[in-house]
Structure 1
Amino acid sequence: MGEGVHHFVPWQDRARCREYDPEIFFPEKGGSSREAKRICAECPVRIECLNYALRRDERYGVWGGMSERERRRLKRMAS
C-alpha cells in the first residue's frame, strides 16, 4: 500500500474492497484492473479512498476506482 507504513483511517471499515482478496487491487504489471474497478464503482467510500490515494501519492494499485496512471493524469489535469 504505497511506501512506508499504511495508516488505518475510519472510512476503510466501510470499503467494499475489505470483502475481497487484496491482490485484485494490485494487479501485476500488464494485468487487468477491471474487477477492482467494478468493485470500486459500487463502493460507498470510493471518493474518500481516491482522495486518500491522491494525498498520499499512492504509486501502486487501484484506489477509488483509478489506477496509478489514471491518478497521475488526474493530478496533472488539476494542476
Structure 2
Amino acid sequence: MSERFSPRGTLLAMYSQTITPSDLAWQEQALCAQTGADFFFPEPGSSVRDAKRICGMCAMRPACLDYALSNDERFGVWGGLSEKERLGLRRALE
C-alpha cells in the first residue's frame, strides 16, 4: 500500500494517531464538500489522482479516513485513500 502524498510507512502511523471529532462537523469543513462528489467517486477504472490531490491539502483528512474505516466505506476516495488502499490498511490493523 502506498500513497502519493505521504512518505512510505506513514499511513498506518497517521491512522493510529488520529484524533477525530465525535460528530460529523468535520464534513462541513472538508475540501471535498466544496468540490463535488465526481472527483471522489469516479467511474470504475478512472483516475483518483485529482481526488487525492484535494485530500492532500485538506485539514480534515484524518477525520475523513477515520470515518471511512469506522463505517466500512467501500466506495470512493476517503481520507486520501482509494478503496483498495483502505482495504489494505484495514487488513494491516487487524
Question: TM-score range with shorter-chain normalisation?
Answer: 0.7 to 0.9
Residue in 2 that maps onto 1:45? 60
Give 1:57 deviation, angstroms: 0.3
Give 1:13 deviation, angstroms: 1.3
Match of 1:67 among 82, 85, 92: 82
Residue in 1 that maps onto 2:29? 14
- For normalisation by structure 1, the TM-score amounts to 0.87
Q: What's the Cα RMSD here?
A: 1.1
Give 1:62 deviation, angstroms: 0.2
Structure 2 unaligned blocks of 5 or more: 1-22
Letter in 2 for 1:53: A
Count of equivalent residues? 72
Structure 1 unaligned blocks of 5 or more: 1-7
- For normalisation by structure 2, the TM-score amounts to 0.74
SS of 1:53 mapped into structure 2:
helix
**Aligned residues: percent identity?**
51
